[in-house]
Structure 1
């Protein structure tokens, strides 16, 4: 079982470092819950489309950090198609209150929830991970 974090293009100053101690603590929390936490950093929106199309065979949930408003118009269709075809639920994470949810591109496949913590990406990831772990735990219990 795994949660895959997919981050879209961000300014370097806005991008949390996957190797930071705060991000390592998130990984440790996931591991303690019996869930792998994988990180897919996309430097371009074309990469983002590819990551959404193939997030990983064992992915059961995505945490998606992308501002749909920044998506170039030429790539709206591929990202919309990839979101619409997702076979797993996703949670959106934003560190700006003005960010636009990617789920607005694919209304037929909305996110479970959108977590917005202005100015604090790590707190947003922490909250989204808590929600995601709870969701997976409840889904597993209901399936049993």
Structure 2
């Protein structure tokens, strides 16, 4: 089983070392549950929609998406909407701002499984989203090979 984490480009400075350390802790937690965690940080919105579209090739069973729909440039909205509509697995949205807008609002036919918002605490949002994702995957029936 695999969870792919796709993070949108950030406005302003970010602490890459802090983010990498946080993702390392999440990866360890997922591994302890028997789930691979892949992190796909994006430098722009076309890269973000590309990673959403390629999540099947990452063998994702679930996707965590950290994107505020309000930040998506008008020229990239259609591509994001199409990528989410074609996503073959459930996804969870992660936000650290209560003013953030879910990308799932762009695709009413394919809503997110959950939207996690912990204002001002990105790591807590990711922790909670991962907990929901791991619980969801542990309850999903699997097809026998």
Report the TM-score, using the length of structure 1 for normalisation: 0.92
Q: Does 1:119 align with 2:111?
A: no
Task: State how 1:37-48 maps to structure 2 within 5 Å.
Answer: 37-48=37-48
Name the CA distance, whole Å, in 1 between partners of 2:9 and 2:140.
31
What secondary structure is seen at the aligned counterpart in 1 of 2:61?
Answer: strand
List, as ranges, runs of 4+ consecutive aligned residues in structure 1 with deviation greater than 2 Å. Answer: 11-19
- 1:29 Cα deviation from its structure 2 partner: 0.8
Count of equivalent residues: 142
Superposition map of 1:1-144 within 5 A: 1-11=1-11, 12-13=13-14, 17-20=18-21, 22-57=22-57, 58-140=59-141
What RMSD, in angstroms, separates the aligned Cα atoms of the two structures?
1.7
Partners of 2:50 and 2:111 in 1: CA distance = 19
Within 1, Cα distance between the matches of 2:39 and 2:84?
18
Over 3 Å counting, the alpha-carbon distance change for 1:124 and 1:16 in structure 2 is: farther
Call closer, same or farther: CA 1:133–1:31 in 2, change over 3 Å. Answer: same
Contact 1:66 1:102 in 2 (8 A): yes
Contact kept, 8 Å, 1:16 with 1:121, in 2: the verdict is no
Per-residue deviation, 1:56: 4.3
Structure 2 residue runs of 5 or longer lacking an equivalent are none
Deviation at 1:16, TM superposition (A): 7.6
CA contact (8 A) 2:23 2:39 kept: no
